[in-house]
Amino acid sequence: MKKHNFSAGPSVLPEEALEAAAKAIFDFNGTGISLLSISHRTKEFEAVVASAQSLIRELLHVPENYHIYFVGGGASTQFFHLPANFLGGKAAYINTGVWTKKAIKEAKHYGEVDVIASSEDKNFNYIPKNYTIPEDADYLYICSNNTIYGTEYKCDIDSPIPLIADMSSNIMSRPIDVSKYAVIYGGAQKNLAPAGVTFVIIRDDMLQRVVRPLPSMVDVNTHVTNNSMFNTPPVFPIFVMNETLKWIKAQGGVEALYKRNVEKAELLYNEIDRNSLFRPTAAKEDRSLMNICFVMSEGNEDLAAEFLEFATARGMVGVKGHRLVGGFRASCYNACPRESVEALVACMQEFEEMKLK
């Protein structure tokens, strides 16, 4: 039976990237040495890092006054790395769920955190609007897509202060205006690579905004100056990232994938809205393209476990919702094929037909 992978992360990756990685594990780039054993200081691997940086710059139209580097530690490490570097007095945060709450907690170790807007009043089912950005804050922090609650920023914020965005779960899924951000970062295990590497895109002027002496591994200047090579970087995930970026380019770039992502999301959201057994959880105007969350409709809550078993038996993988919200979640990242979304829709229709007989 064909499996349809809707896991929230680590997530589905392009088959082309997986095939290249499998081959490189035995022989990296004709060196006769496994990718898992290659020195990160070799010219062959340095070329991989350079290629990945170049492709990110090309695919996201990153301006020349931005640096791109790769580090380990996951996005959660950046929760404290970034305020350690840039929070001297006060920073503004918009709270849209678990990941921003964790970032807020870490930032409080370094200064005042002003939560200027929050959607916690409705269990984070919308993106806050109509807030005022304090111009005396060191930066504004957002998470652009919320995997647990299925909400997403649909446009780039105009901020009078440096804007920092965690784009772990929707990077490369839609066009963005990088020039509106001071820092964009994310764990790569959604749209780019297996777990283990974090990408950082940082504007040049931020390197002069570091507010305190820091350990070398925490200082952003360390990683820019050493071009991601201060210590041994996550070699294997960076290789897979580079292969995934090649795949994105071959698909027609971010713009082409965005069109495809909209079509996939509309297909599934339309079924959720139509199907009498299900209902969406996120406000319609803020529904995520990447993480589509839904629950059983009112009066049908007791069917949740049965539907999960039904869907699993038909090859659906990773559709159980996060433990904090329950229900279901279909993560439709870039490499998730339309075929898988169609299969899930057919599964939902079959379940409804069976229950309404």
pLDDT in tens, 136-192: 999 999 999 999 999 999 999 999 999 999 999 999 999 999 999 999 999 999 999
Structural domain containing residue 275: 253-356
For residues 239 and 257, state if they share a domain: no
Domain contains 90: yes
Asked if 216 and 296 sit in the same domain, the reply is no
Check 99, 138, 264, 320 and give the catalytic one.
99
CATH code of the domain covering residue 34: 3.40.640.10
The residues, ordered by sequence, that sit 6+ positions from 199 with a Cβ below 8 Å of its Cβ are 56, 68, 69, 70, 171, 185, 186, 188, 192, 241
**pLDDT tens readout for residues 20-66:** 999 999 999 999 999 999 999 899 999 999 999 999 999 999 999 99
Closest CA to 70 of 319, 291, 246, 236: 236
Question: Is 2 part of any domain?
Answer: no
Residue 277 · residue 352 · CB < 8 Å = yes
Which tens digit of pLDDT belongs to each residue from 252-309?
999 999 999 999 999 999 999 999 999 999 999 999 999 999 999 999 999 999 999 9
Cα distance between residue 90 and residue 310, in whole Å:
50
pLDDT of residue 324: 86
Whether the CB-CB separation of 144 and 167 falls below 8 Å is answered with: yes
Is 108 a catalytic site residue?
A: no
Instruction: Kindly state whether residues 259 and 198 are assigned to the same domain.
Output: no
- Is residue 122 annotated as part of the catalytic site, yes or no? no
DSSP code string of 235-263: HHHHHHHHHHHHHHHHTTHHHHHHHHHHH
Mean pLDDT on 99-113: 98
Q: Give tens-digit pLDDT for 242-254.
A: 999 999 999 999 9
**pLDDT for residue 329:** 98
Domain of residue 346, CATH code: 3.90.1150.10
Catalytic residue among 190, 219, 264, 320: 190
- Please report the pLDDT score of residue 156 as a whole number: 98
- The span from the CA of 243 to the CA of 141, in Å, is 30
Marked catalytic residue, from 138, 166, 219, 286: 166
User: What mean pLDDT do residues 64-87 have?
Assistant: 97
The reported pLDDT for the residue numbered 316 is 98
Q: Are 27 and 34 in contact (CB under 8 A)?
A: yes
Average pLDDT over residues 322-336: 95
User: 357 pLDDT exceeds 90?
Assistant: no
- Give the model confidence (pLDDT) of 178-235 as tens digits: 999 999 999 999 999 999 999 999 999 999 999 999 999 999 999 999 999 999 999 9
Are 21 and 94 found together in one domain? yes
Residues whose CB falls within 8 Å of the CB of residue 286, separated by 6 or more in sequence, listed in order: 125, 126, 127, 151, 152, 154
Return the pLDDT at 349.
Answer: 98
For the question of residue 264 being annotated catalytic, the response is: no
Instruction: Note the pLDDT of residue 1.
Output: 83
